[in-house]
Amino acid sequence: MTESFSQAWSSTLQALLQRGSGAGADLVEVFLENTDHLGLLAEQERITSVNPTFSRGAGIRVFLNGRDGFVSTNDLSTDGLTRALDQALAMLNLEANGLAVNTSFEGLGALKDYGLEKSSWLQRCPSMRDASSRLLEGTSQLERLGQHLQVRRGSYSRDWQEVLVAASDGTFARDIRLHQSTGLSVLAADGEHRSSVGRRYGSTDRPDDLFTWNAESSAAEVCESAGTMLRADYVEAGQMPVVLANRFGGVIFHEACGHLLETTQIERSTTPFAERVGELIAHPSVTAIDEGLSSGAFGSLSMDDEGMEPQRTVLIKDGILQRFISDRAGELRTGHQRTGSGRRQSHAFAAASRMRNTYIDAGQHKPEDLIASVERGLYCKSMGGGSVGPTGQFNFSVEEGYLIENGNLTSPVKGATLIGDAKEVMPRISMCADDLDLAAGYCGSVSGNIFVTVGQPHIKVDSITVGGR
Amino acid sequence: MTTNTLVPSNLRDRVQALATGAGIRHWDLGAACSDDCSVQVDRGEAKQMKAAQRSSITVRVWNSDGLVGITSTTDLTDAGLSRALEGAQQASAFGNPDDVPQFSPLATVPLPHLDRPLKPRQGILPLLQNLKTAEAELLSRHPAIQTVPYNGLAESLSTNLYLNSDGALRTMERTQASLYLYARAEESGRKPRSSGAIRMALGSGELDIQGCIDEAVERTVGHLAYQPIETGTYRVCFTPEAFLSLIGAFSSMFSARAVLDGVSLSTRESLGQSLAVPFLSLEDDGLHTDHISASPFDGEGTPTQKLALIESGCLRNFLHSEATARAFGVQPTGHAGLGAKVSVGPDWFVVGTTPGESSGLDLDHTRETDTFVLIEDLSALHAGVKATQGSFSLPFDGWLVKGGEKISVEAATVAGDVRSLLASILHLEATQEVTHRGVSPHVWVEGLSITGEA
C-alpha cells in the first residue's frame, strides 16, 4: 500500500506555497493524488482481463492576473515538486528566489479530512476473486435469459482515489473517493440481423455495492432490449416530436444545455447563455439542477478537486436561467461564484468547472400523458453517448427507440441520432413527467473524463431533427 | 530511488532483480516517459500554459501455471516496481487459460529503419508567442471570426521501450509537435459556425502554422452562408479526413482480436472475400514517411510494417498481436498493445486505387456540376457508429454542391451501413492527400441518406 496523505505533508506543502507566493503568484495550488484502479472483464464463461493500475502524482497550478500555469508530475519527492512549481512560475515570468516574503499567505492550518471515515473503504471493496465471481454470474444470467447471443460480456471497474489539496488561500483538505461500476453487454446476431446492447450501473462511496448488485435483473434488462432491437427497422428520419425516457435520457440536458452553463464556456465565448441570467431560456416547465450531494450518485463529492464542499445549484427555475457552474478559475475570470464544481480526471489535469449530478426536475404529468400527446413521433427508451460543439449544437444517439403512432408506442426502431441547438431545443421541452430518476455516466471535457450523473423524468420535446435512414 | 528518466539497461536490471526476488522468471514490460508542454491563448492573452513530466510502466508476469497477469503504474521507484510485480502476480491467478499471450517471436529481430530525427524544443514562452501571433492573424482574416475558442500549440519529447526476460530490448525516442486552431464565427442574425484545422510535425519549429491558419479561416468563413438541406438520398463525396475517420471507426473489421472475440463484422472466412469495390485498396503503413507518430515496434516489441488490408476490393490480411497471429497460424503484424488480453489496432491507413483497376469515372469534387453532398468532417463517431452492426448515423459539416456552387449545410446527419458504403464507392479521385489521420483521396459514394431540417 502506498503511503497515504496526512497532516505530515503540511511542512512540505507549506514550503511550496510560500515559495510560489513569495515569487509573486496571486495563488498557488497543489493537488496530490494516489489512485488504485481495478478493471475486470468477463467474456462468456471466462475472465479474460484483470487489470490493476496504480498511479501517484501531483498537479501544481499558479495564478497571476487571471492567467494560470499548470505542471503535472509523477515525482512526489521534494525536489520533484519544487522543480514542477518553479516550472509553473516560470510560465508566468515569475521566479522563486527563496527570500521574498509574501504576507498574504499565513500558512496552512489543520487538515480538513473528509477521508477520515473512509480509510477502510478500499479493503472493504470486492477482491479480484469476488468481483470475478459476480461478473461470471452476470454472463451466466445473460446466457440463461438471452437468445441469439453471440457475445456476452460483463465488466467491473473500481476507482479508488485519495487526494490532498493545499492552496495559498489556506485550503488544506484531504478526501478519499470510491467509484465502482458494473456493466453487462451483449451482441445478438441472427443472420444479417444484429443488435448490441449494454447497460452500466455505478455508485459512489459504497464499498459493498457489487455484492448487492442484482445480476439477474440487469441481465434481464439487457436481454430484453437486445431481443427487441434485433429485428428493429431503421428509423424514418426527419423533424418530429420526441419523448425521452427518464434516467439516462438526461443526457439530452447534459449535452444540450449543461455544458453551456459551465463557466469554462463563458471564458471561451462558446455559450449563448453568458449574458442571460434572469432570462427565460427554456420552457417554463423546465427546472434544472446540478448538485454534488445525492447519496451514492456517481457525481457526488465530499469536496471538489479544489477543496470546496459541493452545493445544490439550481441552474434553471421554471425556464429562467439562475446561475452557472463555477470553479476557482471561472470565478476569477468571469465573476461567477464558485459552486464546488472544480473537477478533474487526475493530477494530470487542471480543475475546471464541470457538472456533477445534473438533472431536469420532476414535473406534474404522468409518462403516459406525454406519449398520448404525440400523434406521430419517436420514443427514446435508451440513449447512447453524445457531444456538444463550440456553437452549442449537440447530438446523441438513440440505442433503443419506438415509434409513437396516434399516442401509442408501436414498432421498435434503431439507428436514430438526435441533433439540435440548445437555444432552440430548450424552449421545446414542453412536458415533464413525475418520474425523475438518475443514471451514472462519464463526461469527457477540458479537464478529462470524470464521473457524473445525468437524470430527468420522462420529457417531451415538441420538435427535433432525428437523423437516420 | 526516484526517476523520471528511462535508462533501458538500468530499468531491465532493476526489474530483473526485483522479479527474481519475487520468484518471477518470465516477464516483460512496456514503459514510457515524456516531457510535454503546451499553451492556449485567448484574444491575445495566455489562457493556460501546461507542462507535464509523465512516466508509466506496464508489466506482465507469467506464473508457475503459465498464466499471465498484468499491472500498470506511474511509480517507477523500486517500491513502485515491486508493487507492480506483486499486483501482476496476484492478477495472474485469474489469467485466461484459453488465451495465453507469449513473447512475440519477432521481439528480437532487427527493426526497420525509421528516419525521425529528434528536433529541438523551443520551450513554452516561444510557443506562447507563436500561438498569440497565429491567433491574431486568424482573428484579423475576417470580421465574423471573433474568437478561437479551441487552440493549442504543444511539443513533447518521449521515450518508449519494450523489454522482456528473454533479452529483448527495444527503445525509441522521439520529438513531436502539434497545432490546432478552431475558430468561431458569427454574423448578425445568423447562427454561429465553428471549424478548424490541425497540423503535426516532428518539432514545433517545423509546424505549418500558416497552412493551419489558412485552412481554419477557409473552413470557418465558408460555412457562414449556411442553408438547411432537404432530407433525402444523395451522391456523396467524402474528403480524405472524413473518409479516414469513418474507416477508422470501423477498424474492428480488420482486427484479428475482434474477429476472435466475435465482435467484428469480419470472420475468419472473410479473408479473400470481396469487401469493397474492386478498385479500392487499403493499407496500414505505420512506417509511412508522413506519419509523425510512427514507431518502429509495437507494444509487444514486434517490428512495425506495411500491411495490405484490402487489395482489389478483397480482404487480404488482419491486424495481429502475437496471440491472434498464433491462433491464425501467421506472424504478428506489429499492431499490438500490451495486456493480459492484448488489444490490436491500426497505425496509419493509406487509401488508394488498386493498380491496374479503375472506377471508369472521372469525378472531381472541384469540377462536378451534378448535385452532390461534400462531407468535410464527421462528428460524434463515438456515439453514432455501431461498429459491431456496421451502421452509422453521424452529424457532419459539409456542403451541398449544385451546378458547381457550394452551399454550406446546416444541422444534418448522414447515415448508412459501412459494408454497403464500401460496395457503393463510385470513384476515388487521383490525388492522395496526407491528413493527420492517414492518407486518402476524395472518395465518392452513391446513395447515402442525409437528414436535414428542411
Q: Tens digit of pLDDT for each residue in A173-203? A: 999 999 999 999 999 999 989 999 999 999 9
pLDDT digits (tens, 9 = 90+) for B218-260: 999 999 999 999 999 999 999 999 999 999 999 999 999 999 9
Least Cα distance to B57 among B10, B97, B95, B25 occurs for: B10
> Given this model, what pLDDT does residue A100 score?
57
Percentage of chain B beyond pLDDT 70 is 99
Chain A residue at shortest CA distance from B33: A74
Alpha-carbon distance of A463 to B13, in angstroms, equals: 65
Q: Does A127 touch chain B (CB under 8 A)?
A: no
Query: Of A56, A69, A74, which has the smallest distance from its Cβ to B49's Cβ?
Result: A69
Cell of B421: 458504403
CB contact (8 A) between residue A91 and residue B390: no
Question: What ipTM was estimated for this complex?
Answer: 0.92
Does an H or E element contain A226, and which?
A: helix A215-230
> Given this model, what pLDDT does residue A266 score?
95
Which residues, including other chains, have CB under 8 Å from residue B346's CB and lie 6 or more apart?
B248, B251, B254, B284, B319, B335
Amino acid at site A31 = F
What is the 8-class DSSP label of residue A236?
P
- pLDDT over threshold 90, residue A50: yes
Alpha-carbon distance of A353 to A330, in angstroms, equals: 7
> Given this model, what pLDDT does residue B167 score?
94
Least Cα distance to B354 among B242, B431, B437, B277 occurs for: B277
pLDDT digits (tens, 9 = 90+) for A257-272: 999 999 999 998 899 9
> Given this model, what pLDDT does residue B4 score?
43
Chain A residue at shortest CA distance from B264: A187
Percentage of chain A beyond pLDDT 90 is 89
Which residues, including other chains, have CB under 8 Å from residue B411's CB and lie 6 or more apart?
A393, A419, A420, A421, A465, B228, B395, B452, B453
Provide mean pLDDT across the span B3-27: 88
- pLDDT over threshold 90, residue A78: yes
Query: Lowest mean pLDDT: which of A88-102, A274-288, B83-97, B115-129?
Result: A88-102
Residues in B closer than 8 angstroms to A270, CB to CB, are 147, 149, 184
Does an H or E element contain A372, and which?
A: helix A367-372
Which residues, including other chains, have CB under 8 Å from residue B420's CB and lie 6 or more apart?
none
What is the DSSP annotation of B349-395? EEEEEPTT---S----TTT--S-EEEEEEE--HHHHEETTTTEEEEE
Alpha-carbon distance of A174 to B12, in angstroms, equals: 36
Question: Average model confidence (pLDDT) for chain A?
Answer: 95
Provide mean pLDDT across the span B189-214: 95
Residues in A closer than 8 angstroms to B93, CB to CB, are 128
To the nearest whole Å, the CA of A280 is away from the closest chain B CA by 19
> Given this model, what pLDDT does residue A366 score?
98
Provide mean pLDDT across the span B172-193: 94
Amino acid at site B309 = L
To the nearest whole Å, the CA of B356 is away from the closest chain A CA by 33
What is the 8-class DSSP label of residue A258?
I
CB contact (8 A) between residue A51 and residue B416: no
CB contact (8 A) between residue B4 and residue A77: no
> Given this model, what pLDDT does residue B339 score?
84
> Given this model, what pLDDT does residue B410 score?
87
What is the DSSP annotation of B388-431? TTTEEEEEEEEEEEETTEEEEEESEEEEEEHHHHHHTEEEE-S-
What is the 8-class DSSP label of residue A116?
G
Query: Of A67, A128, A194, which has the smallest distance from its Cβ to B45's Cβ?
Result: A67
> Given this model, what pLDDT does residue B2 score?
38
Confidence tier at B6 by pLDDT (50, 70, 90): confident
CB contact (8 A) between residue A469 and residue B93: no
To the nearest whole Å, the CA of A364 is away from the closest chain B CA by 31
Chain B window 21-60: which residues touch A at a Cβ cutoff of 8 Å? Answer: 42, 45-56
Chain B residue at shortest CA distance from A79: B2
Alpha-carbon distance of A362 to B297, in angstroms, equals: 55
Strands B232-238 and B372-378, sheet pairing: parallel
Which residues, including other chains, have CB under 8 Å from residue B269's CB and lie 6 or more apart?
none
> Given this model, what pLDDT does residue A385 score?
81
CB contact (8 A) between residue A417 and residue B380: yes
Chain B window 150-169: which residues touch A at a Cβ cutoff of 8 Å? Answer: 150
Question: Average model confidence (pLDDT) for chain B?
Answer: 95
Chain A window 49-108: which residues touch B at a Cβ cutoff of 8 Å? Answer: 49-57, 67-75, 77, 80, 84, 87-88, 90-92
- pLDDT over threshold 80, residue B3: no
CB contact (8 A) between residue A419 and residue B125: no
Query: Of B74, B98, B383, which has the smallest distance from its Cβ to A55's Cβ?
Result: B74
CB contact (8 A) between residue A420 and residue B411: yes
Confidence tier at B454 by pLDDT (50, 70, 90): low
Does an H or E element contain A13, and which?
A: helix A10-22
Chain A residue at shortest CA distance from B151: A268
Confidence tier at B1 by pLDDT (50, 70, 90): very low
Confidence tier at A56 by pLDDT (50, 70, 90): very high
CB contact (8 A) between residue A397 and residue B389: no
CB contact (8 A) between residue B451 and residue A392: no
Q: Does A3 touch chain B (CB under 8 A)?
A: no
Confidence tier at A344 by pLDDT (50, 70, 90): very high
What is the DSSP annotation of B177-242? EEEEEEEEE--TTS--EEEEEEEEESSGGG--HHHHHHHHHHHHHTTSSEEE--SEEEEEEE-HHH
Q: Does A469 touch chain B (CB under 8 A)?
A: yes
Q: Does A44 touch chain B (CB under 8 A)?
A: no
> Where are the strands (E) in A5-148, listed by range?
27-43, 46-64, 67-73, 112-113
> Helix or strand or coil: residue A328?
helix
Chain A window 206-235: which residues touch B at a Cβ cutoff of 8 Å? Answer: 234
> Given this model, what pLDDT does residue B450 score?
96
> Where are the strands (E) in A374-428, listed by range?
376-388, 393-405, 408-414, 416-421
CA atoms within 13 A on the CB side of A284: 0
Provide mean pLDDT across the span A215-240: 95
- pLDDT over threshold 80, residue A103: no
> Given this model, what pLDDT does residue A469 score?
83
Residue with more model confidence, A425 or B339:
A425
Alpha-carbon distance of A463 to A454, in angstroms, equals: 22
Contact B166, B29 (CB under 8 A): no
pLDDT digits (tens, 9 = 90+) for B52-110: 999 999 999 999 999 999 999 999 989 999 999 999 999 999 999 999 999 999 999 99
Query: Lowest mean pLDDT: which of A389-393, B181-185, B330-334, B401-405?
Result: A389-393
The full length of chain B comes to 454
How much is the pTM? 0.94
Confidence tier at A422 by pLDDT (50, 70, 90): confident
> Given this model, what pLDDT does residue A1 score?
53
> Given this model, what pLDDT does residue B411 score?
86
Residues in A closer than 8 angstroms to B386, CB to CB, are 196, 415
Alpha-carbon distance of B275 to B273, in angstroms, equals: 6
Q: Does A270 touch chain B (CB under 8 A)?
A: yes
CB contact (8 A) between residue A54 and residue B72: yes
CB contact (8 A) between residue B383 and residue A385: yes
- pLDDT over threshold 60, residue A98: no
Chain B window 88-127: which residues touch A at a Cβ cutoff of 8 Å? Answer: 88, 90-91, 93-96, 98-99, 124-125
What is the number of other CB atoms lying within 10 angstroms of the CB of residue B224?
17
CB contact (8 A) between residue A469 and residue B149: no
- pLDDT over threshold 60, residue A306: yes
> Given this model, what pLDDT does residue B285 score?
98
Confidence tier at A318 by pLDDT (50, 70, 90): very high
Query: Of B53, B193, B452, which has the smallest distance from its Cβ to A75's Cβ?
Result: B53
Alpha-carbon distance of B80 to B239, in angstroms, equals: 47
- pLDDT over threshold 70, residue A302: yes
